[in-house]
């Protein structure tokens, strides 16, 4: 979605992290993101968005146009922002992946 000229990836998660609000703390959601490898998922979603915007916006700039990723943990969401995990993959990572998928960069086993 787009909000104030910035584009975001929004995904809904139905994970059950616990019975109360504290179960959906920033730390608990971050742990769930890593446990289920949603971090890899949202990097790939961000890469797809980056490639789309790069092709469609003549003045595209990652820092200016990409707002980040929001995961709504539905069982913990409330009006005060509880249950919302937010992140923005680093530009360097997204650009390197873009170059790799475009065949412009080789990945070396030694890093």
DSSP code at position 38? H
Quick check: 88 and 64 in contact, CB under 8 A?
Answer: no
Half-sphere exposure of 45 (CA within 13 A, CB side): 19
Angle at 45 between CA 95 and CA 75, to 5 degrees: 140
* Whether residue 11 lies in the annotated active site: yes
Greatest CA separation found in the chain? 48
Length of the chain: 111
What are the catalytic residues? 11
């Amino acid at each position: 979605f787009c909000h104030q000229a910035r584009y975001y990836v929004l995904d809904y998660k139905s994970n059950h992290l616990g019975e109360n609000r504290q179960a959906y703390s920033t730390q608990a959601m971050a742990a769930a993101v890593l446990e289920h490898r949603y971090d890899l998922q949202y990097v790939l979603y961000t890469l797809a968005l980056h490639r789309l915007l790069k092709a469609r916006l003549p003045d595209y700039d990652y820092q200016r146009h990409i707002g980040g990723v929001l995961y709504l943990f539905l069982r913990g969401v409330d009006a005060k922002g509880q249950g919302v995990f937010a992140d923005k993959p680093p530009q360097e990572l997204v650009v390197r992946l873009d170059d790799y998928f475009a065949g412009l960069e080789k990945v070396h086993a030694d890093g």
